[in-house]
Amino acid sequence: MKRLTIKEIAQMAGVSVTAVSFVLNNKPGVSEETRQHVQKIIDETGFKPNLNSKKLLFNKSFNICIMINPNSSPFEDLFYFEITRGILNKSREYGYNITINEPIHAESELPDMVYIGDTDGIIFMQDISDALTEKALACGVPFVVVDSHILSDAVTSINPDYCDAAYTAAHHLLENGHRDIGIITSKVVPGFREQTLAGFTKALAEYGLQPRKEWTDGNVSTEQEAYEAAKLLLDRPDRPGAIVCTVDIFAIGAMHCAKDLGLKLPEELSIVGIDDILLSRYTEPKLTTVGIDKVHIGELAMDLLLKKIKGKKPKSVSLPMELVVRESVKKLDT
């Protein structure tokens, strides 16, 4: 069915389109009487102004583009999805549509909508390639990178604080009486190994401890590799009694290994992960881990992006992570 236009409303009300426009946008310039009269007609007819004309006039698309990684794992997908929920919360508030997109051509090209001006801003989920960053910068569309691990002045990003996360994980073990703590971490993401090791070391230091070289070698990137790394650790005569696994997936690998070695969990080995992926709730025992508020990330991303759209230059933020206590840490009597 044909939709009403502002012109028709003006006719019905016996006023000019200007008057109707003023009423619609709550602007001064009409008498209270006229305003009421026009408003009544608007309410009765349920008239909604056509957004497309505003888009043309203001040269704005009212679209925010979420860019997801086409090769992500289901766990990452879930992570994105929850962040998206946070983004949606804010989108309604701000009157933007949230579109979902994948980079094209082997991940190094932005989707068309960016180039044809059909996007007012971009939220990248996960770090993007340098090529993509360059292109985003070059085309001048405001953007924000979420779940980033890179710090750069050129890009506004939201970074989970993995140093803090590793600190929290280790601290939880220490609080529960553990002193012989190992760590399995990774260098897949730039700086990740250094950051987690720093947090880990800081926590130990607070208890007058230092990381033991043989217990901090773990440097893996898959569940299987974590299994092997755990085996190396647990086969030692002086094996640790607790392990911080800086990614939940590593924790799952380590748990498998411990079970295969006949170790009872958490009685003979305590484990803390980082990320709080879905699986952590289904391991046996359920994994104690350090997670982040994903909905909050999404909301924050929108706040930052909208500031950028308005021409401000918000700074990147580092988000602390929170302990999720489940069953994989044994409390030691001390």
Partner DNA sequence: TTGAAAGCGCTAACAT
Partner DNA sequence: ATGTTAGCGCTTTCAA
Binding site for DNA (CB under 7 A): 3, 5-7, 14-22, 24-25, 27-31, 33-34, 49-50, 52-54, 56-57, 59
Question: Taking the complex as a whole, how short is the minimal distance between the CB of residue 189 and DNA, in angstroms?
Answer: 41
49 interacts with a copy of itself by CB under 8 A: yes
Residue 323's CB is within 10 A of a number of other CB atoms, namely 16
Least distance between DNA and beta carbon 293 (Å): 37
Nearest-approach distance from CB 112 to a copy of itself, in angstroms: 8
Sheet holding 322-324, edge to edge: 218-219, 181-185, 242-245, 270-274, 288-291, 322-324
In 17-161, alpha helices (H): 17-24, 32-45, 51-58, 74-94, 112-115, 130-139
Among positions 59, 71, 210, 334, the unique one binding a copy of itself when judged by CB under 8 A: 59
Among residues 140, 208, 237, 262, the one that binds a copy of itself under rule CB under 8 A: 140
Q: Which long-range contacts (C-beta less than 8 Å, at least 24 apart) are formed by 59-62?
A: 59/117, 60/120, 61/113, 61/117, 61/118, 61/119, 61/120, 62/95, 62/96, 62/97, 62/120
Q: How far is the CB of 39 from DNA (least distance, A)?
A: 12
Q: Which is nearer to a copy of itself, 47 or 192 (CB)?
A: 47
Any long-range contacts for 121-124 (C-beta under 8 Å, 24+ apart)?
A: 121/64, 121/65, 121/305, 121/306, 121/308, 121/309, 122/64, 122/65, 122/66, 122/67, 122/305, 123/64, 123/65, 123/66, 123/67, 123/87, 123/301, 123/302, 123/305, 124/67
Nearer CB in complex with a copy of itself: 164/276: 276
Q: Choose among a copy of itself, DNA, none what residue 74 binds, the Cβ cut-off being 5 to 8 Å by kind.
A: a copy of itself
Q: Among DNA, a copy of itself, none, what does residue 19 contact (CB within 5–8 Å per kind)?
A: DNA
Shortest separation between residue 55's beta carbon and a copy of itself, angstroms = 4
Residue closer to a copy of itself (CB basis): 77 or 327: 77
- DSSP string over 33-67: HHHHHHHHHHHHHT----HHHHHHHHT---EEEEE
Residues of this chain, 73-132, that bind a copy of itself according to CB under 8 A = 74, 77-78, 80-82, 84-85, 88, 92, 97-102, 104, 111-113, 115-118
Closest distance to DNA from the beta carbon of 109 (Å): 22
User: Two tokens at 167?
Assistant: 């600190």
Residue closer to DNA by CB (options 44, 333) is: 44
Binders in 268-297 for a copy of itself, by CB under 8 A: 278-279, 282
d(CA 197, CA 298): 27
The site for a copy of itself (CB under 8 A) is made up of 1, 3, 48-53, 55-56, 59, 61-63, 66, 70, 74, 77-78, 80-82, 84-85, 88, 92, 97-102, 104, 111-113, 115-118, 140, 252, 278-279, 282
